[in-house]
Amino acid sequence: MPAQMKRSFKYRFYPTEAQAAELSRTFGCVRKVYNMALAARTEAWTLRQERVNYNATSAMLTAWKKTEELAFLNDVSSVPLQQALRHLQTAFTHFFAKRAKYPRFKSRKKSRKSAEYTTSAFRFRDGKLTLAKMDQPLDIVWSRPLPEGAQPSTATVSQDGAGRWFVSLLVEDPSIQPLSANGRAVGVDAGLDHLLTLSTGEKITNPRHERKDRARLARAQRELSRKAKGDGANRARARRKVARIHARIADRRRDALHKITTRLVRENQTIVIEDLTVRNLLKNGRLARAISDAAWAEFRSMLEYKAQWYGREVIAVDRWFPSSKLCSHCGTLTESMPLNVRTWTCDRCGTTHDRDVNAARNLLAAGLAVSACGAGVRPQRSTLGGQPATKQETHGATRGNPLFQ
């Protein structure tokens, strides 16, 4: 592990009209270059079985700038355009390594608006950030300080659907150091009634951020649906209103997950979770909204990178492991356990279990076994109702159950 880890610090800023116009032009040019390079690479492979790399697309960009049709690319900084080509190269690298799907074209309305600047395209002095092609520094709200003496290596400017502007600064953070080993281990069972249940018996309440704002969101979506489709100002305002509600929900959810994951990583040396396929779970129409609001995938992502920062270990137990149906006291496996059964008694040893706490304890035991022997926990796959089993807690009767409303 390196002595210093790179960390991104994200801040909101308020651009002037000139800065907003410049950044909007840059976003458009970045999207244009990315799409043109993707089309060129796709055509080269489809027609000539030829692979085009970053160097070739960089030469293409130089040629495009010299044409009359694309001369407007010279009006913005060249660094974000080159970075877009590097991002495309990374996307293809992940695709060929079978870690991601084939790169997709960026949409003007749906794709994230962002541009990445390297050190040659911005100036950071005395706590002020000035981007290329701009005379004035950005009006940044420094909600938290950067590490002392830190110099950003990249600055990524973005605008979300609610119209808010953000800048993300990548710096080396000397405060990220491995924590001292404490030997503690905890099993974590993700759920919907309770967001997380720990093997210690603690249950973390599911805040259900989306449900709290559901009425406001539905009202704003109805207002948007009444606006005529097109680029009218009224529809744009209604769309921003919906986006602001979504942003509020996402911000609160992310804040809660950061606090939970930071606490788990600081308190435990080993954390055992279930290897859930959230993408498959979201195909369940009755549960998709509740699962999305729980944000299990985001929870795991935060947990893993923070564990890497602080020298902790995260173990993912195979999703087919019957954690809920296995007695954590004697190891007896119950044949079936409907979703509405929240407590049950083992027929063999007579131990009464809380369903979620028992699952967390079984995950902990299985994860420690994986860590000790290096083998995966892969029981035989089963099917429920003719469909592949995913997470046991998401099967069973859901109609009328307030847990999933």
Query: Secondary structure of 243-271 in the HEC alphabet?
Result: HHHHHHHHHHHHHHHHHHHHHHHHHCCEE
Between the alpha carbon of residue 250 and those of residues 191, 210, 213, 390, the distances in Å are 19, 8, 11, 25
The answer to whether 275 is a known catalytic residue is no
Q: Residues 355, 359, 360, 362: what is their CA dihedral angle, to the nearest 10 degrees?
A: 140
Q: Write down the residue that tokens 């131990």 correspond to.
A: 351
Reported as type and span, the H/E element at residue 333 is none
Between the alpha carbon of residue 74 and those of residues 54, 62, 347, the distances in Å are 20, 10, 75
Candidate list 22, 210, 293, 356, residue with the active-site label: 356
Helix, strand, or coil here: 325?
coil
Q: Residues 192, 193, 194, 200: what is their CA dihedral angle, to the nearest 10 degrees?
A: -110
186 DSSP 8-state letter: E
Contact 159, 169 (CB under 8 A): no
Residues 304, 306: Cα–Cα separation, whole Å = 6
Which are the contacts of 43, defined by CB distance < 8 A and separation ≥ 6? none
The answer to whether 189 is a known catalytic residue is yes
Contact 317, 367 (CB under 8 A): yes
387 DSSP 8-state letter: E
Candidate list 22, 116, 210, 274, residue with the active-site label: 274
Residue type, 44: A
Candidate list 189, 210, 293, 393, residue with the active-site label: 189
The answer to whether 17 is a known catalytic residue is no
And the tokens for 282? 């979201």
Contact 291, 192 (CB under 8 A): yes
And the tokens for 251? 């911000």
Q: Write down the residue that tokens 């930071």 correspond to.
A: 262
Q: Residues 113, 115, 116, 121: what is their CA dihedral angle, to the nearest 10 degrees?
A: -160
Contact 343, 353 (CB under 8 A): yes
Active site residues: 189, 274, 356
